[in-house]
Structure 1
Amino acid sequence: MNKRFSKTIPALLFASALVASLAACSTGGAGGGSAYPERAITIVAPSGAGGGWDKTARSVAKVLSETKLVEKSITVENKPGGGGAVFMAEYATADAKNDYKLFVNSPPILINHNKKEGNSPYGYKDTTPLAQLTKDFGAVVVGADSPYNDLPSLLDAIKADPTSITVAGGSAPGSMDHLIAVLPAFKYGIDPKQVKYVSYDGGGEAIAALLGGSADVIATDVSGVGEYLKAGKVKVLGISAPERLVGELGELKTFKEQGVEAEFLIWRGVFGPKEMSDGAKTYWSEKLKALSDNEAWKAELQANAWESDYKDAEAFAAFLAEQDKLVQELLSALGMSK
């Protein structure tokens, strides 16, 4: 064999091994590459217990773990404050590269960024959208002993004396529950600023306020009141869906069929950090798609009165861009845009 050639072979092998080693190092990091995930994962619900974010995060974690779609342990954490704005400020800065912390969110990630009062400097562009999983709708809810049995009668009372009706929600003024509350009022000819709104950290606390007599009405997501409706503790005066739902909630009237031309979609999805590694993004794209197709997940949808509305990362990002424009238009119409 040629001596020069024989010396070249080991050198080439060494160089090849070095390149492979460097490539592996460059993708291993916080969570990329074929080794991801190497440790436990956290899914954050940026609210207190009992609301839509909390239930979504726990259902996702439960199905991923019980079906072994994800073999590493998954912990759900509640991070309440400002309708998700407090968590976003921390996440977008301290966890921008943390592949092991995901979170669930819905329209507030857009609303908080675009509203006039107490807006957040951070929005969906400070994250990596991974997948939309469900859609839900808003609901205007009163206690079982309330004198109001339909949406127009409640709105007439608010129009007559706005200070006499306390409306509660599980998010800050200008955030999602507040919009669900004031949108039908606005469409009914009521100045949205006149609606007496009190905020709580999560839908669970808002329902507790209603049942405890601290609020006359709550604005929330329809899926969060199913168990209270079955137990005869509340009445749903109207929902923000374009048409009636199917199944057990099919008797609930929409805003529109009561003469109030208002709709509001509550999508929910999973997000990662803005600088998420390619390996982690690919991993979660595959796992969340598999989750959406799994029978155990479909059972969770039914149990929580959620509708499946899966979008992959690319479609979800495009959808968010469209929704961001719609939220800006809605806030502007309500006089609440920044």
Structure 2
Amino acid sequence: MTEGEGALHRLDGVLSTSGYFWTLCLVGEDQSEKFSRLTSELRAPFSATGDGKRISSGFSYWGVESTVAWLHACSDLFYPVMRASIESFPHRWSQLLPSVTGQGFHYVSLGTGTGHKDHTVLETLQRGRAGELCYVPVDVSPEMLRQGQREALRGLGLRASNVVPVQLDFAGARNARRLRRLVEELVGDEPVLYALAGNTLANFESDTGLLAMLVRELLRPQDRFLLEVATTGALDEPSALAAAQEYQASPRFGEFVTSAVMQYTDLHIDMDSVSFEPAVEDDRALMVKVVYRNRTGAPLRLTLPDRSRIDFPESDTIRLLITRKYAEQGLVKLLGDARAQEVDRYRSGSHAGYGEPRFGMDLMLLRSAAPAPAAAPPPPNPFT
């Protein structure tokens, strides 16, 4: 090994020339702590409405089985929500390009998904760059990182040392601060484009709290935030029912939402016990709550990841997923409460035929609306 050449320097050459798809991943948290949290959430008290036992958003994608089930769902012809989102993303992203072109953004993807959207963004961000683009995909699931990264980097020719996958649950403020410090060490003061695509925000119980935290903890004045959300033109019961039916119609989506509870408990899955329950969430969004309800007519006993056992009484539920479609007034309030300012936005329009609900998928470019910190006053001049 020559002077100044370390193992990481040589590893960059190996990753770039080996001809095999190696994945170098930074693990940002203790996985045993996540098992503890998952177990705790499954011990919640009885609820007939899906507000007790639950699988939080990050755990829905955690593990090989859930990752494979998600990738299958995204290609399901009967699951138009995500398939249409992936297929239409290049056009929607192209409408925002005037607001990002030529600014030299690096890219941090919060939740890589299938990788198709990251590929579209990376392909345009690297055009005409004088320097090298840094790509930081972040996901709670190492397997999702690997699968998404493979598609995201296809044919782009990014240097292996400029791709830094990070296994991290970005939904916690402490982890978000850690991520920001890492990104700042990688890119310095150069601007960063963060992205939360695929209507992921809608899967969190406190969506406003999550967005506010991410904007507060991640964004510097020069940074931007790309947010993709599903939208609705109406807040009424027929529209809520239609939103639920979009998900219920896909067998592959049903396999995905039950994959985590099947993987981490010994519950025998009966798809007839999965309910897609619609609601109008105040004046802001349509909500669909996906729950697994004990309909056996008798109490069950479930084994959890730590081998402890819990009661699962008749009519008790495990919430598998929540999702939303936002009304315009709901989005305005969401951004205001999160202290996020809209820089640019592509409104997909609310597609509908006669008598059909008006649903769409909007793409927004945001910045922090918080005032920049005041510059420190200069030190006093000792000679005056």
Whether the TM-score (by the shorter chain) exceeds 0.5 is no
TM normalised by structure 1 equals 0.30
TM normalised by structure 2 equals 0.27
More helix by share: 1
**Whose RCO is larger (CA < 8 A, sep 6+)?**
1
